[in-house]
Structures are given as structure tokens and as C-alpha cells.
Chain A
Amino acid sequence: MKANRIVYGDTLVELAAVRKELLVLDADVAKSIGTAQFAAAYPDRFINVGIAEQNMMGIAAGLATCGKLPFAATFGVFTSMRAVEQIRNAICYTGLNVKIAGTHGGLETGEDGATHQAVEDVAIIRSIPKIRLFIPSTPVATRYLTRLAAEVIGPVYLRFGRAPSPEFYDEDEEFPEGGSKVLREGEDIAIMAYGNMVSVAVQAAERLAEQGIYARVLDMYSIKPFDTEAVLKAASEVRGIITVEDHSIIGGLGGAVCEALSGGHQIPVIRLGLNDEFGRSGKGDELHELYGLTPERVIETALSIMEAADESLKGGR
């Protein structure tokens, strides 16, 4: 298993060989975020601006006006919050070809605590016009989506966690923008997740199947553009939707799913994530446990949805 942020850095090294205009910008976190190997491979195309995220985003914008392909990255809290106005005004409003990566998304950042855990970044970034937001779940998805980010014209934001990720995909799997992946089929419940929560969703679905409940698992890697069609399809085929994300339940995937269903669908949606609260210090997996981002919690939620659905069927009779 490899952390997606490391795969991101490896992919940039690969890309740099063919994309001569590709540059990597850093606000002195390369050792943590996976771009140190790029710095070693391409020292002339690696710019550490010091601990100055706002300046970094502006520089990325300026480079893009001159035809460069800058990838600027730091912890998600700093990309999405410290430098959000720079992303909005200098990059997105302008529509410049800048790629941004926010690493250490969610509680799995762990011991550094709430100040370093981005639990609002998805909500913030997806509300900005003109930007795409991709959140890869596995190394294969990371490699594909990093390459896709380089290929499309315009601002792209990639979100990565901290911990290593298991692989669910074949090497040649494709992840088109605006799509999603069905990792398991099921007609009872749909579990939608992104990033490392996809693994939690898969584990929950496997154990639910043992109890005769079949959950469809969707990897919603493209938060923007969003696969509204897959959500609507699920809504018409299953009895309830569960969203799982290492992020606030406000404005993230849970929010996006509810927006997609705002046309009047009568389906329960339970959003799992941080319930309008901050994280704290601790080990990533312990924090996931503490805040209910576990297969057990997803299973419990699925069972309650199924129970309620059965009740309402009985009531209907």
C-alpha cells in the first residue's frame, strides 16, 4: 500500500519528462506531501517559496499566464483556507491553468490535530466557480487523476489524505471527469464515498452482504463536475443512500448528493462525517473510530435504513 500523496509526487516526476512546462511549487512541506522526489529529480523546476501559501498561489497564477503548468501543493487546510482567496481570484476567476493539491485532508492527518486537519476543504473548493475537484481513492486513481489534471485546461484541485490506500482498480482503469465508479453492485443501499473512505464503504458492503443486505458502493472521485446521474440512478434503485467522508457533513459529498436529489426524491440520505465539529489530536484510525468513520458505523446506518424501510412497507399495508 502506498499513500496517494506519494503516488501524486511520483506521477509528477513521470509527467515532467514529457511536459517540459510542468513546474512544482512548494511552501516548504515537500517532505510531507510527496513532492520531495520531484525536487530531487528536477531541481530547476521545483520552487520552494518558503512558508507562504498565498504568495505560492499568486506565483502559480503568474507562471500560468506565461504558458507554464504549475502544480502547487501544501496541506489542505492551507490550500483551501489560508490561500482560498488567491485560488478564487488569481486562479479561478481568471481561469488560469493552475493545478492545486491539498494533502492531509480529513482526520487521518492525525496527531497534528484540528489546526492541520482539513474538514471543510471539499465544501470550500467545490463552491468556487470554474474549478474541478478530484479526490482519488487509490494509487491507480491518483495516477490517472493527476495525469488528467495536467491534461485538462483550467484550474484543478486534487485532495489527498495522509495514510496509505489499498488498491481496488486494475492498472488500466479510467477515471473520466464527472464520473464515478461502482465498486460493488447492490439494490438495497448505496454507499457513496471518496478518498480513503471508499475502503470503509467496501468493507461495510462486504459485511452487509454476509447478512443478506446488498449495498452498492460508489467511488465519487469527481466531486466537481459531479456524477449527478449516478446519484439519481441509485436513488431510483435502492432504499437509502449513505455518504461517508473524512470531512464535515456540511457541503461536502453529503451536501453534493443532497443537492443532486433536490428535485424532490423521496429517499433517505444519511451523511456520515464530522457533525459540525473540529477534529483533535490522535492516531488517524483512532480518530476515525471516535468520529464514527468506520465500517461498523456504516453497517449500523445501513441496518437502520433497511429497518425503517421495512417498517414503512408494513405501515403501507
Chain B
Amino acid sequence: MNDVRELEQMAARMRMDCLQMIHDSNSGHPGGSLSATEILTVLYFYKMNIDVDNPRWPDRDRFVLSKGHAAPMVFAALANRGFFSKEEYKGFRRTGGNLQGTVSIHNPGGDMTVGSLGQYLSVAIGMAIAGRLDNKDYKVYAMLGDGELQEGQVWEALMLAPAMQLGNLVAILDNNHVQMCGKTDDILSLGDLRRKFEAFGWAVKRIDGHDISQIMSALDSIPVQLTGQPTMIIADTVKGKGVSYMEGTAQWHGGAPDDEQLAQAFRELGGAL
């Protein structure tokens, strides 16, 4: 999918799918899922070299969702991409369902079982090292949240990737400025992230994380390389993006919309599925 308009429509569809899942299970995290929508749309429908018929294809690009609770948006991407049926949505967060609270390596199209904040940039590093050892030119994309950067392990990983010159590793920061209990700046400010990442040795790009064209060109500008600086894309986003009553508020970090709220969200997102 190369057309920006089409990708925008897919993003709207994924938002509705995601909210429907959270509404139906009465459980989930809409805020950080909605902020990640355009990035995931571009990755899964434009950029990543993946094969729906062969999800375990060894040469595929990998995606690791380190901010694990944005899982329903990844499920929406995988289902719309055709990895599994939308029927699976009904099992989201439910006993007997295949879609857990976080993405699993056992979900078709899932590259890693994630969940606990701070851990999975390290996993992406392992995948990038394996790619280099096997001389495969796949890329490994890892999405982190800004609140997640408060976890110490992230900085162990941020230090190592440039030292190992993992040029095939791309970290994307969903910089939505809000965490569970409030604004990130009020809880533990992350300071000047660009300077921090650059000081650690990353090639840093800063974009509007809801602008499809900017995401496309940022990802396209990264060279195919097994060795070199890893890339950090700081994507400035809005928590709860696309649904007026969810935008920018910690209140919708976790929680499910009721029938009326879901209907309003669908109206704002351009209508029924």
C-alpha cells in the first residue's frame, strides 16, 4: 500500500477495530494504542517485508512491541493484513481466546511475546545480532513508549545497540507524553531525548507520529545496512489520538468505552466498519 490516503483509511479502520475489541472485552488500553496507530499502519501496510502466507519466513522484517499494552492495535494491524481472521477479536483478553492482553509469538504474525515494560528493545537487539550473524538484510523494528523509558533496562539496551553498530535496528518512540498516572513530564521528565539518544550513539530522527508521509519517509531514509548506527525515530504523538474525549488524557490510558462512547468514537473516526 503506497497511497497516503489509503493508509489513512486503514489507520481509521484499525482504530475502530481496536476500540471495538476493547469495548467488547471491557478491558484494554486505548490511549497508547491510538497514539501508535499511524506508525503501525505504515510498518505493516507499507514498510515491513513480511509474508502473510509464511509468518515465520526467516528473512522477514521483525516488529517488537515493547510498550506491550498497545497490543489491540497490533492485533488490528495483523488481522487487517490477513494474518488471522477478525473473528479472533472476540477472544481478545478473554478466557479461551487467542489474543491475550499482549502480543504473543504464537499469534500468526507475532514476532515476540511481549508485555512487561522495558524489556523488549533487548529482544530486538538479539534479533538484529542474529540477522547480522546470518548475513540477512532484514530490519528489526521496536516500538517503545516514552513512559517506558523510565525503566532501567531500556538504557542498557540503548547503550549496547550503537556500541555493537546494529545498523539493522530501528527503534520508534511513541512519544505520547502521558503515562498511567499523568503526564510524563510531571511524573519523571525524560528531558532532552534527542540529545540523550544522540549521546548514546543513535542516529535520531524526529517526526510527527500521526503524519503518514513523514513516517514513510523517515523509514525509507534508513539505509539497508547490517552495520552502522542504529536509528531512533522520536515520533511525537497524542495519547488517545482520533477520539476527542480520549486525547491527551491519562484517564484513557486503560479503560473501555461504553456503548455510547464507542458510537461517538466511530462517528469521529468516519463511521461504521
Chain A interface (Cβ within 8 Å of chain B)? Answer: 23, 44-45, 47, 49-50, 52, 54-68, 70, 85-86, 89-90, 93-94, 96
Contacts and interface: CB of A to CB of B under 8 A. Distances in A.
Given A54-B153, A94-B113, A63 B126 contact: yes
A240 B113 CA distance: 45
A65 B103 CA distance: 14
Given A63-B129, A65-B112, A94-B112, A52 B160 contact: yes
B75 to A, nearest CB: 18
Interface of B: 58, 62, 64, 104-105, 111-113, 115-116, 119-131, 133-134, 152-153, 156-157, 159-160, 163
Contact of A62 (B112, B115, B152, B156): B112
Nearest to B151: A54
A134 B146 CA distance: 40
Contacts of B156: 49-50, 52, 54-55
Find the residue from B112, B121, B131 having the highest chain A CB count within 10 A.
Answer: B112
Contacts of B104: 94
Contacts of A45: 133
13 contacts: A45-B133, A56-B122, A62-B125, A62-B127, A62-B129, A63-B127, A65-B127, A66-B131, A89-B115, A89-B119, A90-B113, A93-B113, A93-B115
Contact of A65 (B121, B126, B160): B126
Contacts of A23: 133
Nearest to A55: B156
Contacts, number: 105
Given A65-B111, A85-B116, A94-B113, A47 B129 contact: yes
A193 to B, nearest CB: 35
**Nearest 10 interchain pairs by C-beta:** A62-B126, A58-B122, A66-B130, A55-B156, A62-B123, A52-B156, A59-B126, A94-B113, A63-B126, A54-B153
Contacts of B134: 66
A67 B119 contact: no
Given A55-B156, A59-B129, 6 more contacts: A54-B119, A54-B152, A66-B58, A86-B119, A90-B120, A96-B105
Contacts of A90: 113, 116, 119-120, 122-123
A23 B113 CA distance: 22
A62 B160 contact: no
B160 A60 contact: no
A295 B107 CA distance: 53
A49 B113 CA distance: 22
B125 A58 contact: yes
A55 B120 contact: no
A68 B130 contact: yes
Given A62-B112, A65-B105, A89-B116, A54 B122 contact: yes
Nearest to A58: B122
B153 A55 contact: yes
A57 B127 contact: no
Contact of B160 (A50, A68, A89): A50
Given A55-B153, A93-B113, A62 B124 contact: yes
Contact of B126 (A66, A85, A93): A66
A128 to B, nearest CB: 14
Contacts of A50: 156, 159-160, 163
Find the residue from A47, A61, A65, A86 having the highest chain B CB count within 10 A.
Answer: A65
Contacts of B105: 65, 94, 96
A50 B123 CA distance: 16
Nearest to B131: A66
A58 B153 CA distance: 9
A65 B119 contact: no
A67 B153 contact: no
A58 B120 CA distance: 7
B115 A59 contact: no
Contacts of B116: 85, 89-90
Nearest to B64: A62
